[in-house]
Amino acid sequence: MPPFKDEHVLIIAPGSQTTLAQLGLPESFTPARLRVPTRMFPAEKKGEWEATRIRERKVTRTSSKTEAHGHADGDVTMGEANGPLDDQGMAEDQEDDVRVEEDPTSEEGAVYPLRDGKIVEWSCFFALLTHIYNTMGPPFHTPILVISQPAWTAQDHESLTQFIFEMFKTPAFCLMDSALAVCYAYATPTATVVDVGHGKCDVTAVNEFLVCDLGRGSALPGCGGEAMTQRLHDLLGGKGFTSEVCEQLKKSPICEILPPGMQMPAETEVNAHISNPAAAASTGASGSGPGQRGSIASQGGAPRGPGINTEVGDADEDREFKEGEDDEGVLDVAAIVASGKTGEFLVKKEREKAAKAAAKKDAADAAAVAKERSLPNSKRMKATFHYHERRPLEELNMNGKRAMDGENGQDGGEPKRQKTPEPVVDSGIQATENATATRREERKEERRRNREGTAFIRKSADVGLERFQAASGGILDQIADAIHRCVLSYPDISKRSDLWDSLIILGNGSKVKGFKEALVGTLNSRYLTSSSSATIFTSELPSNFTTPVATGANTPQPQHHPPTHHGPGVNPLLLAATTASNPNLAPPGQSQQQLHQQLQLQQYHQQQMQQSHQHSSHAQTPTSIKLLKMPDYFPEWKDVGMEEAGFLGAQVAAKVVFVVDQGISKGFMSRTEYNELGPQGIHETCL
């Protein structure tokens, strides 16, 4: 078998929302080049799938699209529109009165084959893989690496292996656990990986590059980003926020999760104001039910008292905001749109706002506002965020010409409008820059056509303290409990404190501002063993305590049997990785790290040796909880953040497994092995 080349490696990392893929390993590892939403649309024939929504449409120009949502991933999907799968759809276009056409921005009827990490719709999932494969157009000699979700079962692994080998005829296939991939990205053999996804969260303890199945919190339901959106919707739904707006609110910088113990600004005043029972319940009432976090104050926050923001001026300002007719905080978007006066309303609102600003006679009030605006978000009562809403064009037309003008005047032709607020897609746009010019041209055309049917309205709304409560539904508690359980079930007790000290929180669900800090804060406030007890030099030492006696009577005695074996050996791939003289893998500073790793390994073995003799010397954990520092030698990842570090790890692993190691350490399953062992062979080689 000829050696594999960097540029031939295909990596696919499926996620519940977005699937990342890339062909070829660049000089320095970059974020994924291709991002596709993990969804397919049922084709006409049952069991067949299309990458974009195909729908019938009368040739008459008057009719148009009715979908009211789904612009979020528009750009990427449009890029996909050139995929080979869509050709027949285009061909059919001309045939009939009823034209079949693609709607790249719609997600109506979409089927998401992965839900909470589990593969729930196999034919759809396979179609998606095929679609990605075809989009990439890899050469024949392409090894494939797939990142597997922790929720996938052994049988899932087999099915997938069979599909990959038989469908793509790949010469080599590697299935890698997502938590392990993260460890490769962070170049750490030991870590507690907390991967917060869309609908679920995975908590995994990894030691010596071995994933520990015992106590693993795989696919904790209701602990992902979706749960936070839902929580916001629960809180704000009464104020006319749709769940889509809540999704955008969650992604906006004003939505923040405050660390436990931190008081929300002027909480008491707000309690008096909020009429929404849901919000009231979540901010204060201690009897707000299980699964719900108590209020910050009831969790031991500082007693409520006059703070920076509890001045009378602010409160008055707030009351005025609340009572004023132009209260942006309770902007009832749905009602306004339904009333069919969107444009008018917006214009009116602008005018009124201006009038109001002019009418602000009270200088003190104005100063208070200015002061409030200059405060950091977490200290402000309210904050404004901008969101985009996709409305069908004809609805706007019906609202009258003026509304149309208003809309177009406001943001017509602005490329900004197309730019979705989803940061995920932002980088997608960035990543697809490599696409050919022609493709971009086509996409523009597509976009223009698309705009005829729908328009994006840029709106803004004020949000009160609800914006701090995205995680108030108990997510943090659940995840923290799962982490605690996971680490405390780790069989090697002496490694547990290492696991506490190397926490990695990632996943797009953790992108919400303040999430990681709040989670670490929760862990600290609930589980950290205080130093007063961990040290034996407490003032409250029992009187009968003495120092170890010289007779050795109280030193642990060695067991009579020799240690059977030293546990899992060093991962051969780790050795390959650390010894590879590869510029990508060994940037300046890496040599020290190598040294450090080797030292750690040595220490590990020493510990193992000792452990079998005196496993009594374990103290309670955790005495410290630390986040692992993100590796700084991949500049491209710095700006994007390490939320998708698993993909970086996948590239590192692909480099090691396919290119450096070339299969010596059995890092992948070759076609020959597949022919010999069948799909079940994957269990011996998968990482």
Partner 1 sequence: MATGQASTKPPDANEYGGDEISALVLDPGYSTTRAGFAGEDVPKAIVPSFHGLIPSESTPKHAKQLFGDNSINIPLPRISISNVMSKEGTVEDWDTAANLWEYAITSRLTNTKPTPLASNGLNDPNEDITMEGVEEQEKPLGENPLLMTETGWNAGKDREKGIEIAMENWGCPAFWLARNGVLAAFASGKPTALVVDLGASTIAITPVHDGLILKKAVTRSPLAGNFVSNQLRLLFASSQPPIPITPHYLVASKTAVDAGTPAQATYRTFAPGTEPHPSFRQFQEERVLTEFKESVVNVWTGPGRLGGHSQQGGTNIDVAKQHPGKPFEMPDGWNQMFPALDRYRAIEGIFDHKMALSDASNPPPSPGQTITALISSSLSQVDIDLRPHLLGNIVITGASSWFAGFTDRLQQELQAAYPGVRVRMVASGQMVERKFGSWIGGSILASLGTFHQLWISKKEYEEHGSGIVEKRCK
DSSP character for 553? T
**Positions in 491-520 near partner 1 (CB under 8 A):** 491-493
- Out of 484, 511, 513, 655, the residue judged to bind partner 1 by CB under 8 A: 484
* In the complex, minimum distance from the CB of residue 527 to partner 1, in angstroms, rounded to a whole number: 8
Determine if 546 is a binding residue for partner 1 (CB under 8 A).
yes
Q: Which residues contact 317 (CB under 8 A, 6 or more apart)?
A: 365, 368, 369, 372
39: nearest Cα among 99, 102, 120, 95:
120
> Which positions from 122 through 181 interact with partner 1, judged by CB under 8 A?
122, 153-156
Task: Indicate the residue among 24 and 294 with the shorter CB distance to partner 1.
Answer: 294
Site size toward partner 1, by CB under 8 A: 87
Binding marks (x or -) toward partner 1, 520..539, rule CB under 8 A? -----xxx-xxxxxxxx-xx
Nearer to partner 1, 202 or 501 (CB): 202
Could you say whether residue 565 binds partner 1 (CB under 8 A)? yes
Q: Per CB under 8 A, does 620 bind partner 1? A: yes
Q: 540 or 639: whose CB is closer to partner 1?
A: 540
Closest distance of CB 171 from partner 1, Å: 20
Residue 510 near residue 646 (C-beta atoms within 8 A): no
303 binds partner 1 (CB under 8 A): no
3-state DSSP percent of the chain in helix, strand and coil, to 5: 45, 15, 40
Given the complex with partner 1, which of 12 and 682 has the nearer CB atom?
Answer: 682
DSSP states along 589-617 = THHHHHHHHHHHHHHHHHHHHHHHH-TT-
Task: Give which of 173, 204, 183, 178 is closest to 685, Cα–Cα.
Answer: 173
Residues linked to residue 102 through DSSP beta bridges, in sequence order: 54
Say which residue the tokens 């609805």 belong to: 395
Check residue 287 for interaction with partner 1 (CB under 8 A).
yes
Among 374, 545, 592, 639, binds partner 1 (CB under 8 A): 545
Residues in region 353-412 near partner 1 by CB under 8 A: none
261 or 340: CB nearest partner 1: 261
Q: Among 231-239, 377-385, 454-462, 551-559, which window interacts with partner 1 (CB under 8 A)?
A: 551-559
| Piece of 327-335, 423-431, 482-490, 572-580 that binds partner 1 (CB under 8 A) | 482-490
Contact track, partner 1, 234-263, x by CB under 8 A:
--------------------------xx--
DSSP-derived secondary structure for 244-264: HHHHHHHHSTT-B-PPTTPPP
Nearer Cβ to partner 1 (403/482): 482
Nearest residue to 191 (alpha-carbon basis) of 421, 495, 440:
495
Position among 66, 554, 591, 603 found at the interface with partner 1 (CB under 8 A): 554
Of 286, 374, 434, 438, which one interacts with partner 1 (CB under 8 A)? 286
43-47 contact pairs (CB < 8 A, 24+): 47/123
The least CB distance from residue 133 to partner 1, in Å, is: 23
Q: Which of residues 173-232 bind partner 1 (CB under 8 A)?
A: 213-215, 217-221
Closer Cβ to partner 1, 299 or 579, answer by number: 299
- Alpha-carbon span 210 to 229, nearest angstrom: 34
Burial of 156 (0-12, 13-18, 19+ CB in 10 A): middle
The two three-digit tokens of residue 574, written as one number: 């780790």
Least CB distance from residue 350 to partner 1, whole Å?
45
Indicate the residue type of 358: A
Contact with partner 1 (CB under 8 A): which of 66, 275, 299, 606? 299
Burial class (CB in 10 A: 0-12, 13-18, 19+), 308: exposed
Please answer whether residues 502 and 190 qualify as being in contact, where contact means their C-beta atoms are separated by less than 8 angstroms.
yes
Q: What are the tokens at 665? A: 């350490």
Single out the residue of 37, 173, 6 nearest to residue 651, CA to CA: 6
Q: Could you tell me the smallest distance in angstroms from the CB atom of residue 531 to partner 1?
A: 7
Contact with partner 1 (CB under 8 A): which of 28, 430, 600, 612? Answer: 612
CB of 558 to partner 1, least distance (A): 9
To partner 1, the closest distance from the beta carbon of 207 in angstroms equals: 12
Place of tokens 């705009």: 451
- Please list every residue from 104 through 123 that binds partner 1, using CB under 8 A: 115, 118-122
What number of helices (H) and strands (E) belong to the chain? 28, 18
Give, as ranges, the residues between 452 and 481 that touch partner 1 (CB under 8 A).
474, 478, 481
Cα 17 to chain centroid distance, Å, stands at 9
Q: Which of residues 32-51 bind partner 1 (CB under 8 A)?
A: none
Q: How far apart are CA 244 and CA 389, in angstroms?
A: 9
Q: Is 550 in the site for partner 1 (CB under 8 A)?
A: no
CB nearer partner 1, residue 122 or residue 445: 122
Query: Which of 488, 570, 575, 586: binder of partner 1 (CB under 8 A)?
Result: 488
Residue 537 CA to its chain's centroid (Å):
44
Q: According to CB under 8 A, which one of 559, 579, 624, 672 is a site residue for partner 1?
A: 559
Please state the length of the chain. 687
Reading the block at residue 297, the tokens are 């104050």
CB 43 to partner 1: min, Å: 18
Residues 420-449 that bind partner 1 (CB under 8 A): none
Helix or strand (DSSP H, E) at 204: strand 200-207
Q: Where are the alpha helices (DSSP H) in 7-121?
A: 74-80, 87-92
